[in-house]
Amino acid sequence: MVYLDHAATTVTRPEVIADMTEEFSNLGNASSLHGPGRRARRVVEEAREGIADALGAAPNEVIFTSGGTEANNLAIKGLFWARNGADPARRRVLLSAVEHHAALDPAMWLAGHQGAVHEEIPVDGFGRVTPEALRAAIERDPDDVALVSVMWANNEVGTVQPVAELAAVASEYRVPFHTDAVQAVGAEPVDFAASGVTALSLTGHKIGGPVGAGALLLARGVDPVPLVHGGGQEREVRSGTLTTPLLRGLATAVDMAVNERDDHAKRLAELRDELLARVRAVVPDVTTNGDPDHRLPGNAHLSFPGCEGDALLMLLDAEGIACSTGSACSAGVAQPSHVLLAMGASEETARSSLRFSLGHGSQRADIVALGEAIGPAVERARAARSKRR
């Protein structure tokens, strides 16, 4: 199999598997006071310290979650409830128009059930939010903004946002700023303190860690209303028995991803450039989406005129090549990408697009295989569409 969908999930690193396997053989709840419990607590706190050190945070700013979706929900819902509860006038929740559904849907739920007003911050043709666009959105009424959320890097088209600049604008108005950095950790320099953000979401399975483990980096002095109540673990922000083996694996994955980032990003960018060259050689009218300069190194998002993206995906899948039409979380839904539409693409262009994403398991042989398969697949997809017309 040629796997070109690392933005959806990536292979678990052997070092992570080894650490988790060892930890699964140990007994102890990290909230217990006896010896086994204290041993588990030490593992959890070492994981917390390692993640904090790797990402420019303080250990007590690391709140463990089950992954990026929970972290996004905790940040967006929890910050809204806290801000709106203190001042009912603060109802507006500002999100970029290209957010992942893990951030978009919580905001829409708040608007439908909790009296929030969800507003989209527009993006340019590359999918970027400019500081000017954010400032204009806030200044429509600065006193009624509850929070801002803009993802660090887009999961579909790979565009990297000017997060520090955007966070600085939000800070001028004393508005908390959350960023979904699930795609950015390990691919971009991510420094929580230096970025100026209030809250940052990350997950393990995008960087060679386990599914089911993630974190919300949450600035000191910021107290969102919890989603889950119980034992009061994790600063009384997120209750639940801590999954010690998964958290050890998460910390190992974050450490490796951050330490290897420079070489990893350089290698992926070279593979991506070769991928683009090989596809263009056999499909000259293919177009690329996203920011050409400020983008994830392993992302290639392409539109194939005259094709249905779903049909092209299945033709490639039949040849043993796995890719995506966009976010895996919305796969199978017959509608064009909201990301591409927000960038100004037509519905036809949005429906004709595929995402090829590379990761630490990607090899040049994968690129060669795609280059050999993409031409015939495009021809068949175009022919099938012409017959239906």
Catalytically active residues, by annotation: 329
Rounded to whole angstroms, the Cα distance separating 201 from 185 reads: 10
Q: 109-141 burial, b for 16+ CB within 10 Å, e for fewer?
A: ebbeeeebebbbbbbeebbbbbeebbeebbeee
Q: 62-81 burial, b for 16+ CB within 10 Å, e for fewer?
A: bbbbbbbbbbbbbbbbbbbb
Rounded to whole angstroms, the Cα distance separating 62 from 55 reads: 10
Q: Are 40 and 169 in contact (CB under 8 A)?
A: no
Tokens of 106: 């919580």
Rounded to whole angstroms, the Cα distance separating 189 from 197 reads: 14
Q: 29-46 burial, b for 16+ CB within 10 Å, e for fewer?
A: ebeeeeeeeeebbebbee
Rounded to whole angstroms, the Cα distance separating 177 from 161 reads: 13
Tokens of 91: 């109802």
Q: Are 198 and 181 in contact (CB under 8 A)?
A: no
Sign of CA dihedral 128, 133, 134, 135: positive
The one-letter amino acid code at 182 reads: V
Q: In degrees rounded to 5, what are phi and psi of residue 5?
A: -135, 45
What does each C-alpha distance from 349 to 99, 288, 387 come to in angstroms?
19, 11, 19
- β-partners of residue 62 are 217
The one-letter amino acid code at 339 reads: V
Sign of CA dihedral 74, 80, 83, 84: negative
The one-letter amino acid code at 192 reads: F
